Amino acid sequence: MPKQTFLNLPEEKRNTIIDVAINEFSEYGLENASTNRIVEKSGISKGSFYQYFEDKQDVFMHLVSILEHEKMEYFKDPPPPSMNMDAFEYYHWMVKAGMAFNSTKPKMAQAISRVIMRERSFSNKFFDDAREKTKAFFEDMIEKAIERGEIDPSIDVELAVMVMEAWQNTITTYIMDEGMKQEDFMAWVYSAKTQEMIDKLLYVMEYGLRKTESEFEKAA
């Protein structure tokens, strides 16, 4: 995390360094990111950089902490539209809400998702803990959905979690990769064509797990 010398900088200078780092990681990832490029584009000396951060990974983790804080603030207000949603409706809402948040910070979200999803060599306790929490959340959601008769009880819970995580990552990667090519990111994300594509992806995932009508009839 940043040193106090960085936190003592004027806000404008801090923001300049952060913006340069976001662009660097979104374009090159973490492994291929260059401290020299960050230094040069920020207009600071290399000595100053190491007075602010330990290394480029330290800068990256600072970006993660910023995004996590803003995400927590964002999700304080928009609750699910209904407390009577089934597991798939809730998952659908969760994916769309995540898309809405990412659209407020597209470049930062792209930079972080690129590293997390594509650079398997990057390992950090923060992400290990986050993945375990996500896995536990999905396991609980699926087990309860099976109890309510929403998901086929023959489905392996661990495999179902893998499917949900993979689908979420696929959608996020698609949105970040394709959306950043667009002139207007938010307009593209909320266009009818993009929303229809997301709905179709969610439909494929849902009906691979959902208990079918015929199975409901057999159970009756």
Q: What is the pLDDT of residues 171-203, one digit of tens each?
A: 877 887 787 787 787 788 888 888 888 888 888
- With bands split at pLDDT 50, 70 and 90, how would you rate the model's confidence at 36? very high
Cα angle value 23/28/30 (rounded, 5°): 95
Banded model confidence at residue 12, pLDDT cuts 50, 70, 90: very high
Q: Is residue 105 in a domain?
A: yes
Query: What's the rounded Cα separation, in Å, for the pair 109 and 116?
Result: 10
The structural domain count of the chain equals 2
The answer to whether 210 touches 152, Cβ cutoff 8 Å, is yes
Domain extent at residue 41? 4-63
The verdict on 145 and 180 lying in the same domain is yes
* Residue 47: per-residue pLDDT: 95
* Cβ neighbours of 191 (radius 10 Å): 13
The pTM of the full predicted model, rounded to 2 decimals, is: 0.72
Residue 187: φ, ψ to 5°: -65, -40
Q: Is the dihedral of CA 58, 30, 119, 161 positive or negative?
A: positive
Tell me whether residue 68 is in a domain: no
Kindly state whether residues 99 and 22 are assigned to the same domain.
no
Highest mean pLDDT among 20-24, 96-100, 127-131, 213-217: 20-24
Same domain, 191 and 119: yes
Q: Is residue 214 very low, low, confident or very high in pLDDT (cuts 50, 70, 90)?
A: very low
Domain end among 20, 40, 63: 63
147 and 47 housed in the same domain? no
| Bridge partners for 151 per DSSP | 210
Is 71 inside any structural domain? no
Residue 167 domain-assigned? yes
Can you give the pLDDT at residue 209? 77
Q: How far apart are the first and last CA of the chain?
A: 57
Task: Mention every residue, 6+ apart, whose C-beta is less than 8 A from residue 211.
Answer: 149, 150, 151, 152, 153
User: Residue 5 in contact with residue 51, Cβ under 8 Å?
Assistant: yes
Two structure tokens written together for 216:
């409901």
Residue 131 in domain:
yes
Interacting residues of 1 by C-beta distance below 8 A, sequence separation 6+: 58, 61, 62, 65
In CATH, what number is assigned to the domain containing residue 169? 1.10.357.10
Q: End of a domain among 31, 63, 95? A: 63
Taking residues 45-49, report their average pLDDT: 95
The dihedral through the CA atoms of 167, 172, 178, 179 has a sign that is: positive
Whether residues 202 and 94 fall in one domain: yes
Same domain flag for 135 and 161: yes
